[in-house]
Chain A
Amino acid sequence: MINFNLFVLPFFLGLIYLVAKIGKTWYRWIKALPAIDKVKFIAGIRHPQLFLSALKEVFLEALIHRRMWKRNPLLGYMHMSFALGWFLLIVCGNIESRFYSGTHLNAPYYPIFLKFFIHDKLVLFFEVFSVPGFFRFLMDFLLLFVLSGLVLALIKRQKSKWFGLKRTTEFQLTDSISLACLWLIFPMRLLAESYTAGYYGSGGGFMTQPLGNLLVAITPFRSDYAAYSMWWGYSLSLGIFFITLPYSRYMHIPTEVLLIFFRHLEIQPKKWYSSFSDVEVQACSRCGVCIDVCQLNDAGINDSQAVYFIRGVRDKYVPEEISRKCLLCGRCQEVCPVGISTDSLRLIKRRELVSGQASDFSYLTTQRTGAPCQGEVVYFAGCMSHLTPAIIRAMKGIMEQAGISYVHLDENGSVCCGRPLMIAGKDRQAQGLIDFNKRLIGLTHAKLLVTSCPICYRVFREEYNLPIRIQHHSQFILELVKTGKIPLQGHFKNVAYHDPCDLGRGSGVYTAPRELLSKIADLVPVPQDANNALCCGGSLGIFEASQQQHNAMTAVTLDMLMKNQPEILATACPLCKKTLEKQSPVAVKDIAELVYESLPKPVYFAASGQSHPAKSYANELI
C-alpha cells in the first residue's frame, strides 16, 4: 500500500516551510551572538548536565506551563492541554504508526494522518490492553485533553477574568489567521478520524468510533467524500498554521525553547540590542499578563506596558515616549510567563535614544574635594538620603553607638552614584561619576561599603566592580545587631514594611529588612509584598508622568499598605519614604530611623564621625 494522498501536501509543505524558517532564524540568532556567548552556547549544549537542565525547564515551562499554573490554574490548564496534549499526540502517534508500519522510517505525515491510512478491525472496549486498542484509547484521550483546552480558550475570549486577566492584548491579522487555524486543527482531526472510523465501521477509539458511527448515520450524502474533505480540512489548517506561525504571536512557542537554552547556558542580556534581546522579543507570547500588574494603569497610562513596548520593538518602531514611560519597577518581569527581562530591554532602547559625547567630569578631582578620610566602613548615603536627613542622622547615630570607624563619603566629596543617568540611557555619561566615586572609595581603604539608598546599592553591585563588600544599611544594621554591637530596647507596634523596588525585585534583598524589623516591631501583613510589592509611585524610572500621575499611583500603593491598619509604615529607601510620606495618613520611617529610636540612649553624632572640618563657604561656587 502506498501511504500517500494528495491531501497530505498542505501539511507537509507547511511543515517543511516552518522547520526551514525556524532553522534559519535560530541559525541567524546563534550566529549573531557575541563571540563569548557563542563559545558558551557551543560548549553548553555539549555539556550533558546543562543540556538536561535546560531540557527540564523546556518541559516545565513550554509544555506544563508551570508559571501559568502559579498565576491561575485555569490559564495553566488551558496552556498545558494545548502544549502537552499536542506534544503527546505527536509522540504517541509516532509510536503507534511504527507499530503499524513496522519501520522507523515513516514519512512525517504518516503518523499525523494515520487513521486515514489504517483502519483495522473493530476493537472492543475490553481490548484496551491490546496494542492497537491501547493506542486508540490513548490517542482519543489525548485528543479529548487538547479539545478541553480549546473549550477553555473559547470561554477565555468571553470571560478572561476567570483566567486572572482583566486586560489582554489585541490580535493582529496574522495572529487571527493563525489562531483560527490552531483552533480548527483539533476539531478537524476529531471529525476526520471519527468520520473515517464511522465509514469503515472500525479503527476509532472510545470517542471517535461512536461519534463517527453517529455522523455517518445522519449524513445525507456520501460519507467517503465527507471524510475525505475533512482530512483535507485537517491538513489545510495544519499547513496554514505552520506557514503563518513565524509571522504571528505563535512564534513565541519555538522561540521560548531557544530562550530557555540561552539562559541555562548563561547567555545574559547585553547593554545593547543583541540577538539575546531579539530572542526575548520574539519569545513574548503577547499574553498580556504584564498589563494588569503595571501600576501605570493607576495613573491612567495604558499604552506603554511591557507587552506594548515589546510589540514596538518587534515592529522596529518604538516611540521615544513609550521607551521612557516605565517605572522600571520590575513587576512585569516578575510575572512574565516567559521571564523576559523587560526592564533591561527598556533600558537598551533608552540607550539607543541617547546621542552625544560622554559628559565632561574632569572638574571632579580630589584636589578639589580633598582626599577622603580613612575608616573601616565607607558610608554612602546617596543623593536621595540628602532629602531625608533623618536617615543620615540615624545611620550616624547607629555607627557611633556600634563604635565603627566610618567615613561619610557624602561629606568627603562623593558624587551621584550614576544610576539616574543610566536610567535615562546615559551610561557613558554615568561612567565619569562611577570612576570618580570608585577612586574616592579606594582612597578610604574601607573593607565595606554601606549605602542607605537601594538605587545606589543596586548600581554599586551591578556596575562598580568594587573589590570590597557592599551592603544596604538594612543588611549592615542586622549584622551589627546579630554580633551584639548595638543593643535594641524600643518596640514598635503595628508596623507595615514596604519593599523598595530596587532593594527587593532589583537586588533580591527581602529577608534582611524583615528580620531586622521583627527585632524591634510587630509587623502587620501587607497584602502585596516581597516580589509582588507595589512601587511607591515615586520611581525615577519614568520621565513621562506628571506629579498628579505619580500621586495617583502612590495613593493606590498607600491604600494597599494601610489595609491592615498599621501605625507606622517602614521602608528601606529614602525615595520611597519621601514619596509615601507626603500622602500617608501615618508616619513613614526608614528602618534605620526605627533602629536608631530603639537604641537605649540615642547618641547624638555631634562632632565625631569623620569628615572634613566645617569650612565657611563664603558664597563659594562649586
Chain B
Amino acid sequence: MNKKVIVVGGGVSGMTAAGALSELGMEVVLLEKDDHTGGHAGNWDRLFPSRRPGKEVIDFIEKSMSSTVEIRCGSRVTSIDRNTEGFTVNLHNGDPLTAESVVIATGYELFDARKKEEYGYGIYDNVITSAELEAIFKEGRQLVTHNGKTPQRVGLIHCVGSRDEKVGNLYCSKVCCVTGVKQAIEIREMLPGCEVFSFYMDLRMYDRNFEELYYEAQQKWGVNFIRGRLSECAENPDHSLILKTEDTLTGRPLKMTVDLVVLLVGFVPRPETRIISDMLKLQTGSDGFLSPVDEHFKDNSTSVPGLFLAGAVKGPACIVNSIADARATAVQVKAYINGEMVKW
C-alpha cells in the first residue's frame, strides 16, 4: 500500500503532523502557501505562560520533520479531489500530487481590527494590534507612539473580534486573555515608567500557570485591570486617545486618555476554510471553523474517508493544544492507511 500523506498548512499543527507522520513511516509532503513554514507562531516573540521564546518551539518542530518530509513552500492548493485511488491535490504551480490521505491544517486568520471601527485601527495613528506589538518585541524594537515618543500610558483591549455578536463572532478565541496578560507584563518590563491598563469582560485563565501569570501581572508589575468593554475610542488633537467604557466593578462610566492602544485581536476562519468545506462538503460550525465528525471520539476525522483535520482549522487553539491535536491526527492517519480500526 501507498503511504503518501499530504499535509496542507505549514504552521504549528501542520509541521507537527508532518513530523509525526514521517516518524510513523509515512511519505509526507507538506504544502505551505507562504515562502516559509512556521505560521502565526513563527511571528510570536515569547509564548505564554512560560514566556519561552517562540523560536525554540518552532525550531524543535522543524527539526522533528527531519529530512524525510518534503516541504513545498510557496505552494497554493487550488483543489482537492477525492477519487477511488485516494486524493489528488492540485497546486497553482506544478503538477498535481496524489496521496492516500490528506491532513487539513490550514489554521486561522487574525481578526481584521478595522471591522471594529469604533476602536480606530487604521484611522488613528496610535492604535496597534497585539500581533504588531509582538513583532515589535520580536524585532527588539522600542515601543513608541507614532511620533516617536515613549508612551506614558498604554491601554490593552481584550476581546477584539471575539465574543462580539456585533461583528458576527460569538465565540471566544481562547488565547487572547493570557496573551494580553503576557504582553502587559512585557510592556512594563520594557518601559517601567509606563502605566498599563487592561480592559476586559472577564479573564479566562483556564490553563495551567495562567492564573499565576495574571496574579504576577497585578502583584509584581502593577498592571491595572478594568472590567469593562471598551465602547469607543476617540483621538485627541495631540493623537493621544480617549477611551470610554463603563467600569462594571464600580458601576461608573470611565473616560481615560492613553498614548497607545493595543487591540487583542482574536481568531477568525480563513476565507479558504469556506472554500475547502464547500469543495469537500465538510461540516462547519456556526463560527465558520471546520467541525470534526465527533467532538470527542473522532475529533480529527471528517466525513470524507482519509481526510483529517489538525489544529486551529477547527477553532481557536493555543500552541500546546495544537501540537497535541496534530500528534493525535498523525496516529489516526497512520491507522487509516494501515487499514486498522481505531477503537479508542
Contacts and interface: CB of A to CB of B under 8 A. Distances in A.
Interface of A: 386-390, 393, 411, 547, 551, 578, 581-583, 605-609, 611, 613-622
Nearest to A606: B237
A616 B252 CA distance: 18
Contacts of B250: 621
Given A614-B240, A616-B257, A621-B252, A389 B168 contact: no
Contacts of B235: 389
B63 interface: no
Interface string B237-270: 1101010000100101111110000000000000
A582 B254 contact: no
B156 to A, nearest CB: 16
B237 A547 contact: no
A619 B165 contact: no
A614 B236 CA distance: 6
Chain A to chain B: the 9 pairs with minimum beta-carbon distance, closest first: A614-B236, A387-B118, A547-B165, A607-B237, A386-B232, A621-B252, A389-B123, A617-B255, A622-B255
A578 B117 contact: yes
Interface string B108-121: 00000001011010
Contacts of B257: 614-617
Nearest to B232: A386
7 contacts: A387-B117, A389-B118, A389-B120, A583-B168, A614-B257, A621-B247, A622-B253
B124 interface: yes
Nearest to A390: B123
Contacts of A618: 256
B117 A619 contact: no
Nearest to A394: B123
Given A387-B232, A616-B257, A581 B237 contact: no
Nearest to B242: A617
B102 interface: no
Q: Which of A388, A617, A620 has the most chain B CB within a 10 Å cutoff?
A: A617
Given A547-B166, A582-B166, A619-B254, A609 B115 contact: no
B115 A393 contact: no
Contacts of A605: 237
B237 A609 contact: yes
Contacts of A620: 254-256
A76 to B, nearest CB: 43
Contacts of B168: 551, 582-583
A283 to B, nearest CB: 40
A581 B117 contact: yes
Nearest to A578: B117
**Most chain-B CB neighbours within 10 Å: which of A614, A615, A618?**
A614
Nearest to B236: A614
B240 A386 contact: no
A390 B117 contact: yes
B167 interface: yes
Contacts of A609: 237
Contacts of A551: 168
B234 interface: yes
Which of A386, A389, A393, A621 has its CB near the most chain B CB atoms (within 10 A)?
A389
A611 B237 contact: yes
B255 A582 contact: no
B122 to A, nearest CB: 8
A388 B117 contact: yes
B256 A617 contact: yes
B115 A582 contact: yes
A578 to B, nearest CB: 7
Tell me if A's interface is mostly helix, strand, loop or mixed. loop
B124 A389 contact: yes
A549 to B, nearest CB: 11
B233 interface: yes
Contacts of A387: 117-118, 232
A619 B166 contact: no
A387 B116 CA distance: 8
Contacts of A611: 237
Contacts of B115: 581-582
B253 A389 contact: no
A298 B42 CA distance: 44
Given A547-B166, A583-B168, A389 B233 contact: yes
B170 to A, nearest CB: 8
Contacts of B234: 386, 389, 411
Interface in B7-62: none
B118 A621 contact: no
Contacts of A616: 257
Nearest to A381: B234
A617 B124 CA distance: 19
Contact of A619 (B167, B237, B242, B256): B256
A605 B235 CA distance: 11
Contacts of B165: 547
A386 B118 contact: yes
Given A582-B167, A605-B237, A622-B254, 13 more contacts: A389-B118, A390-B123, A547-B165, A582-B168, A583-B168, A606-B237, A607-B238, A613-B237, A614-B236, A614-B238, A619-B256, A620-B256, A621-B255
Interface centre among B124, B235, B237 (most CB of A within 10 A): B237
A3 B247 CA distance: 87
Contact of A393 (B123, B233, B242, B252): B123
Nearest to B253: A622
Contacts of B232: 386-387, 389
A99 B124 CA distance: 86
A394 to B, nearest CB: 10
Given A388-B117, A390-B117, A583-B168, A614 B255 contact: no
Interface in B96-152: 115, 117-118, 120, 123-124
A609 B238 CA distance: 12
B139 to A, nearest CB: 28
Contacts of B233: 389
B181 to A, nearest CB: 21
A605 B239 CA distance: 11
B111 to A, nearest CB: 12
Contact of B117 (A389, A411, A617): A389
A605 B118 CA distance: 18
A329 B148 CA distance: 48
A569 B130 CA distance: 30
A542 to B, nearest CB: 15
Contacts of B252: 621
A581 B117 CA distance: 10
A388 B232 CA distance: 9
A617 B254 CA distance: 9
Contacts of A607: 237-238
A619 B155 CA distance: 12
Nearest to A609: B237
B123 A621 contact: no
Nearest to A393: B123
A615 B238 CA distance: 10
Given A393-B123, A551-B168, A619-B254, A388 B237 contact: no
A260 to B, nearest CB: 44
Interface in B157-195: 165-168
B115 to A, nearest CB: 6
A393 B253 CA distance: 25
Contacts of A578: 117
Contacts of A393: 123
A419 to B, nearest CB: 18
B161 to A, nearest CB: 11
A166 B344 CA distance: 56
A452 to B, nearest CB: 13
Contacts of B247: 621
Contacts of A606: 237
Contacts of A615: 257
